[in-house]
Structure 1
Amino acid sequence: MNSPISPPAPSSTSTITSIPSSSSSSSSSSSIPAPATTAPQATFGSPYAAPDAAAELLRSTGIGVRALRAGDAAPYGALLDARGGTVALPDAWRNGPAIVLFIRGGWCRACSLLLRHWREYGDELRALNTTLIAVSPQSPELTDRTVVDNGVDFAVLSDPELAAANGFGISFTLSPDAVDLYAANGIDVPVLNGNGLWVLPVPATYVVGPDGVIRYAHIEGDPTPAPKPEDVLFEVEERFGWQ
């Protein structure tokens, strides 16, 4: 049964919910800081990869060519919420723009830090009438744990069938060296995701408009620095303005 789309409830993590604008935060006098010029170290492929390695892996897998970019139509994908209910990915941008974060999972330290960073921007998201969701291939049970452990109040969705990751063109099979590195650190990706595959999404950030068209995309390993939340919100403001 599909999970309904309903007004936001702080205690619920089972639905994608647009965050309505509020009179206290939607004033045109508010502003998002200009994009930052620095960003955290890239971690594509393994949690410990350097930025140059991230760029090389992006080239070697072909993801830099096949990944969806600004101007492309965002794909449909049936995902699972933290309780195992089915959620249609396009519901995220049905009533306004959406920010879609692709992460490896709650076991990834960089991913957890990103989720915790984003939880500080609820007022800005409401002012921009923008929905924020995170997508990972891990199981719904582990997704629920990720939500609790990181104290987030936005939807974190499971993509164990890789419908969204494949749709956006950012899934890749880990190399034997990467598999060995993950295994040596006790990270059993096939078990964590429950699909038997050594496949992960490349960490990525997308902004999708209510028409389903991607307006902004950044894939880890791109030449430009990885965006911080304030950078992404600046992109949303530039394209859609205050609501």
Structure 2
Amino acid sequence: MKKFILFALSAAFSLNVSAQKGLTTGVKAPAFTATDNSGKKIDLKALLKSYKSVVLFFYRGEWCPYCNKHIQQLQDSLQLLTAKGAYVIGVTPETGDNIKKTIDKTHASFSIVQDKGYAIMKSYDVNYVLDEAIVNKYKGFGLDLNAANGNAEHVLPVPATYVINSSGIISFVHFDKDYRKRATVSDILNVL
């Protein structure tokens, strides 16, 4: 039954993200500032002065098993990533309370940012809005996006990953509208 639910959600997801393209390698990464889960100010420009690169990834929420698996993989390999001079940032539309649930599930110790107004998601062209039929299907499976994200806008990101080099240029992109597919740690390490 669980596989059927995930298949149904996957099929529905791919219908809603046809307009998103994401950014490509070789382009200047949009700068942003935000506050992470621990209250730390995150400024992309400042981070790129202190680190060789930034690994920026977008995830849907603590309710997404694929997101949690990816976050856990990044956490498990965090020493390898930081040893290559990378700073890791996760971006999500979920509330601060749900970010805490993500951290409890994954033990993530890197920065996670709530993108309340979706400015970061929009600037990286990963945002999309679920239609009401999909929102209602999610509710039928026990997922209340209004509660998860703290609003009724139903915006989620394509779970993309970007590696941004110290010059502010995107050197790696993993952008797949199938939310089950994520960048591997080895792919990320190969470009750091």
TM-score scaled to structure 1, two decimals? 0.67
Q: What is the CA deviation profile of residues 72-124 of structure 1, one whole-angstrom value per residue up to 9, with x for unaligned ones?
A: 21112232322455433444433220111100011111101111111121332
Question: Is the 2:38–2:111 Cα contact (8 Å) retained in structure 1?
Answer: no
Structure 1 residues 92 and 192: alpha-carbon distance in aligned structure 2, compared to 1, 3 A threshold: farther
Structure 1 residues 53 and 186: alpha-carbon distance in aligned structure 2, compared to 1, 3 A threshold: closer
> Do residues 82 (structure 1) and 37 (structure 2) align?
yes
Structure 1 residues 47 and 124: alpha-carbon distance in aligned structure 2, compared to 1, 3 A threshold: farther
Query: What secondary structure, in the 3-state scheme, does the structure 2 residue paired with 1:196 have?
Result: coil
Structure whose residues are more often helix by fraction: 2
Structure 1 residues 81 and 115: alpha-carbon distance in aligned structure 2, compared to 1, 3 A threshold: same
Q: State the partner residue of 2:3.
A: none
Query: What secondary structure, in the 3-state scheme, does the structure 2 residue paired with 1:49 have?
Result: helix
Q: State the partner residue of 1:63.
A: 20
> Do residues 176 (structure 1) and 132 (structure 2) align?
yes
Query: What secondary structure, in the 3-state scheme, does the structure 1 residue paired with 2:24 have?
Result: coil
Distance between the aligned counterparts of 2:169 and 2:20, measured in 1?
19
TM-score scaled to structure 2, two decimals? 0.83
Code of the residue aligned with 2:49 in structure 1: it is: R
Structure 1 residues 174 and 142: alpha-carbon distance in aligned structure 2, compared to 1, 3 A threshold: same
> Do residues 93 (structure 1) and 54 (structure 2) align?
no
Structure whose residues are more often strand by fraction: 2
Q: State the partner residue of 1:215.
A: 171
Q: Which 5+ residue runs of structure 2 have no aligned equivalent?
A: 1-5
Write out aligned runs for 1:1-243 (5 A): 48-49=9-10, 54=14, 57-58=16-17, 60=18, 62-64=19-21, 67-83=22-38, 86-95=41-50, 96-221=52-177, 226-236=182-192
Q: How many residues align?
A: 184
Structure 1 residues 190 and 94: alpha-carbon distance in aligned structure 2, compared to 1, 3 A threshold: farther
How far is the alpha carbon of 1:232 from its aligned partner? 1.5
Instruction: Provide the aligned C-alpha RMSD in A.
Output: 2.5
Q: Which 5+ residue runs of structure 1 have no aligned equivalent?
A: 1-43, 237-243
Distance between the aligned counterparts of 1:179 and 1:160, measured in 2?
19
Distance between the aligned counterparts of 1:113 and 1:80, measured in 2?
24
Query: What secondary structure, in the 3-state scheme, does the structure 2 residue paired with 1:200 have?
Result: strand
Percent identity of paired positions between Structure 1 and Structure 2: 26
Question: Is the 2:16–2:129 Cα contact (8 Å) retained in structure 1?
Answer: no
Code of the residue aligned with 1:213 in structure 2: it is: I
Q: Name which one, 1 or 2, has greater alpha-carbon Rg.
A: 1
Distance between the aligned counterparts of 1:226 and 1:111, measured in 2?
9
How far is the alpha carbon of 1:180 from its aligned partner? 1.7
Query: What secondary structure, in the 3-state scheme, does the structure 2 residue paired with 1:156 have?
Result: strand
Distance between the aligned counterparts of 1:215 and 1:229, measured in 2?
15
